[in-house]
Each structure stands twice: as C-alpha cells, then as structure tokens.
Chains A and B, each alone.
Chain A
C-alpha cells in the first residue's frame, strides 16, 4: 500500500533521513521506532507532503506522491494524526470533527457526515459529552482521541500516527493502543511512530528501527521484541525495571 524507497530528507543542509526503505501492506500495522531525533517524524512528514525537500520515491497505492501538496495527499486517502495532537483549541469538538471531514465535504457538503460523526462518537463516547466544549479544555488523552477521530473523519485508507502516546497517563496510553488495535481489526492500514517502543511493537505486525536517519533493524514485531540487541538498546526502560517503586516515585518528586 505504501512503499518508500531510498528516502532522503533534508532540513536546510542537514540530512535528517539518510536513505531508508520501508513498506506497509494493506491492513498491516507497522511501527517505526527509534530515539529522539532519529528521523521518525520526518518520514511521516515527507509521506503526507508537509516536508518539501526529499529525494527517493514514495508510492501510495502504486502512484508517487512526489510534488503533491498535503490537501491532495489527504484526498488520496492518507490521514496524519500529528505529533502533539495539534487539535484546534478554541474551536468546539464538533467543529474539529467537521474540519476533519473538510477534504471530502467540498463536492457534497453532507456526504454522510452525520454517519461518520456517529461512528467517531461511538468509538470515543467521552467526545459526545464534550461535543460543544472548546477542544482546548479537554484533557490530554481526550485531545488525542479527538485528534484520532478528526483524522478518521477524512475516511482515510491509511492512518499515520505520530507519537500518539506522548505525554499521556498510562491508562490513556492503553486506551489509545486498544483503539489502534480496534482500527486494525477493522482493516485499517496504520503506520505508527512511537518512542514507547515496547507498546508500539506489541500491537504491530512488523517493525522498523531507525537510528540517526538510518534503518538499523527491521522484522516481524514479535521477533524484534524477542531480540536482546533491540530490547537492550531501544526498550531500555521497560526491560530493566530495577528501580524500586519508592525510588522511582521520589525521582518524580512524589512522596508516599
């Protein structure tokens, strides 16, 4: 479905992505993991047209996306859930969702908007309670749910998720991961970028590991999770639960 070959991305003179190759098949969930600054988000930005300067080829459903602007790419069926959620804070939850359907409402304004709205609100019932509230008043987790719903409103055939679990409470992380699994079971194709590598690999079919712009590992998610080299290098925190809970709490400034 998505095929990236020898992608190189630049920010000015700095080369952030140094020739990576990656593919996502229909209905597959693929995780792209790696440390801060390894170029994960840059890859997503290139795919959805937000990054202007890149070399290589990106094929979506067989045709190149080179030179297309973001609105055109959205219309072809790729939706991005941007890093840091980027919901429109002063606008109501409903207006945010309406904006999600923006790309397909031009030709027929109603185009089953109500139906999709209902689907989104069934997926995340909490959004129904807050439908007329300014989106900025939602909690972080709710904002992430809104960002995911907003992306789904465009009726994408592929979803790009950029760090959907960043800064969320553990319970919310689980909720978001469950949602990704649910979307997968409905046949959605997903490319997931995460720093929370263990979680990302647990719900993925396959995984890629990026390090300073280069692809260093790729394989089935289960294999990556089982590979000691990877667990040590990228799943460090979760793989070494040596710290006692009290010490961990103290390091966060909490006392019992």
Chain B
C-alpha cells in the first residue's frame, strides 16, 4: 500500500467515525433530515464528478437520471405494489439502459455540444415526468411512496435511514476512489487532458466515456431511489433543469476531480438554503452572492482553496 492510499484509508476511516458520531450526537429530526439530504446529494455529486471532474464531459441533464431512479421506484411501488427493494433493481436498470441509449450518440459530441445535448435530454425527461400524469401524477406529484423496511424494521424510524444513506455514501466513496486510482482512472483523466492524445496512446475514449456516463447515471438513480423513499412524495420540480445545474454547481464549488471536494460541495449547497432562510426574501440573492465569492476567491473549488489557505498560514 502506498502512502497516499494509506492516507486515503485513514480519511475514509475518519469520515466513517464522523458519520457514526453525528448519528449519535444529533437527535433532532430536522438535523438528521438535513444530513440525509447531504448524503443523497453527495452520491449525486460523486457520480457527476467522475464524469465532469475526472473525464471532463459536461452533463447538464443529470437530474433526468436522478428522476428516473425516483419515479421508476415510486411508480412500481405505488401503482404496481412492488416492494421498494424489488423496485430498486428496475430503477437502476432503467437508468443504465437510458444512459446507454442516450450516451452512444451524445458522447460523440464534446464540450458545449455535449452540454447542449444532455440539456435537451434532461428537458425531455422532465416533460415526460410532468405529462405522463396517469402514472406520475403530473405536476401535482406522486404521493404515498412506501418507506423502506428490512424485515419488520421500518428504516424511516429514528436514524435508520440516515445510516442507510451514509452507508451508501461511504460505499460510493470507496468505489470511486478505487476507480480513480486504477488504470481506468488514469485513462479517464487522460481523456480530460486531451481526447486526441488519449486516443494516440491507445485509450478507447468512446468506450470509457460511455462507461463513466452510465456509471454516473447509475449513481444518480440510486440517489433518486433513496430520495423517493425518504420523502414519500415526488414531483417533477425536483428533477428539472435547475436540479441539473445545482448538481453541476456542487461539483464545481466543491472542487473538480476530487472526491472530498464532492462531499464538501454537496454539504455546502445543501446547508446554504437551510441557513439562509433567515434572509427570507433576500435568500436567493445571498445564495448567489456566496457562490460568486467562492468562485472568485477559491476558483479551484472549496477543497483546494481551503487547503491552500491552510498551507499558507502554516508557512507564514
């Protein structure tokens, strides 16, 4: 084991400890709920970060996969009386299938064109959620999504759901980490550098772009599944264009190409709206202002920026 991967294991251990400690310390249901949302957003951000941060492919339609995960499971459980666990596999499977179908033509594009292509895809899926109202409930949403159970234990009671979500976060974190450190991870980063050069050294860029796109769609669908069964109610508004933009923002604010940045970005963007309720009418203005300040003063993202400040203060 190299030193850096040893450090990484220590960090993941520390995070596991922090998750467990937070579960014990926070007993306010609202706080637990916020932590659950941070967890769900972290899974989304980790997936998108593999695609955007590491491979350099911009998707402005990732909320579609988040929505596909949520709606498939919701429809199967509400209308077809599936048990939620039985609905998990079809939800993930459908997202993977759609990602393959959309990815094959779309990933031939790059840069702005890929962004436009995925944007269009996101809008189409949003409209499907809204207009397919006999299944999705249209704009008024779909209620009565059953909660997750293991045996007779309801995961919605107490902190069970919190541990489930953060277990998934830790799993995703470890898998992402191993992927990035591997030969495949290097190949992905080479695509980010220059697709042409990556091809010239023998990296099958088309295949990798598709695989990482599908994997990030898979993670988004997993997050969507958890979201639907956590809230019990979903509506198209949670999966619109702004939701895709929010995901991209989490990746950029946290710091591209860093899994810890993803955690930080997801945490900040989940917490900010909660803290900013105090500003009432001015909430969105302050929110926007904070994001602008982060990008002006910490253009590499929060993680790199904070590390730089720390290193400078140590050297001073």
Closest to B185 in A: A95
Interface contact A86-B200, CB-CB below 8 Å: yes
Interface contact A70-B202, CB-CB below 8 Å: yes
* Separation of A70 and B197 alpha carbons in the complex (Å): 10
Interface contact A74-B200, CB-CB below 8 Å: yes
* Separation of A99 and B183 alpha carbons in the complex (Å): 8
Closest to B204 in A: A71
| Closest Cβ–Cβ distance, residue B53 to chain A (whole Å) | 11
* Separation of A102 and B201 alpha carbons in the complex (Å): 7
Interface contact A105-B183, CB-CB below 8 Å: yes
Give the size category of B's interface with A: 10 to 19
**Residue A82 interfacial (CB < 8 Å):** yes
Contacts of A98 in B (CB 8 A): 183, 186
| Closest Cβ–Cβ distance, residue A211 to chain B (whole Å) | 26
Q: Which of B10-18, B96-104, B188-196 lines the interface with chain A?
A: B188-196
**Residue A164 interfacial (CB < 8 Å):** no
Interface hits, A148-195 → B, CB 8 Å? 150-151, 154
Contacts of A105 in B (CB 8 A): 183
Contacts of B183 in A (CB 8 A): 98, 102, 105-106, 109
**Residue B58 interfacial (CB < 8 Å):** no
Contact of B189 among A75, A82, A88 (CB under 8 A): A88
**Residue B46 interfacial (CB < 8 Å):** no
Contacts of B200 in A (CB 8 A): 48, 50, 70, 74, 79-80, 82, 86
| Closest Cβ–Cβ distance, residue A190 to chain B (whole Å) | 16
**Chain A interface (Cβ < 8 Å from any Cβ of B):** 48-50, 69-71, 74-75, 79-80, 82, 86-91, 95, 98-100, 102-103, 105-106, 109, 150-151, 154
Give me 29 A-to-B residue pairs in the complex whose CB atoms sit less than 8 angstroms apart, sorted by A's number: A48-B200, A50-B196, A50-B200, A69-B199, A70-B202, A71-B203, A79-B201, A82-B197, A86-B193, A86-B194, A86-B196, A86-B197, A86-B200, A87-B193, A88-B189, A88-B190, A88-B197, A89-B193, A90-B189, A90-B257, A91-B186, A95-B186, A98-B183, A102-B186, A102-B202, A105-B183, A109-B183, A151-B201, A154-B201
